Amino acid sequence: MTIDEIKDNFALLDEWDDRYRYVIELGRSLAPMSEQDHSAENKVQGCASQVWLARTVQADAAGGTRLHYVGDSDAHIVRGLIAILLALYSDQPAKAILETDAVALFEELGLREHLTPQRSNGFRAMVERIRRDAREVLAAA
């Protein structure tokens, strides 16, 4: 699912309860993450729930690189937030990741006002982890 499809679906849902269920449903659509990827190295610090993000760097047709992610959490709503972030960032070039404001999207979707401060902080921790990965890939290029 693309980020534009997610935005369109959010726009169709008037009630926060429906949006909340939709976020959980997005989490259920995540590809399974291998047990090997549930490692300390992939664990995101700063999240109230357990969260793992594993990246691979792949060459693209233009000779650049793209960062591909898989993610998982032990909390249903957080799995949904991961799905939104992966729709936004996965398979993107590092430069595009650094130019994309996930917090603005978070606010556009109305997530900030409906999630606990701990969930919001966890979301920011996931974004910062992905941005740090992008900076590392650019520095290595």
pLDDT tens digit sequence for 37-77? 999 999 999 888 999 999 999 988 777 889 999 999 999 99
Closest CA to 69 of 6, 131, 138, 4: 131
Please state, in angstroms and rounded to a whole number, the distance separating the CA atoms of residues 2 and 5. 5
Domains of the chain, start order: 3-140 (3.90.1010.10)
C-alpha separations of 83 from 22, 40, 61, 127, 136 in Å: 11, 21, 25, 12, 23
Selecting among 47, 67, 87, 127, the annotated active-site residue is 47
pLDDT at site 63 = 75
pLDDT at site 35 = 94
Q: What single DSSP character describes residue 36? A: G
The whole-number mean pLDDT for each consecutive block of 10 residues of the chain, a chain of 141 residues, reads 94 92 96 94 91 92 87 94 96 94 89 82 93 92 74
pTM of the predicted model as reported, rounded to 2 decimal places: 0.92
Q: Tell me, yes or no, if 47 is annotated catalytic.
A: yes
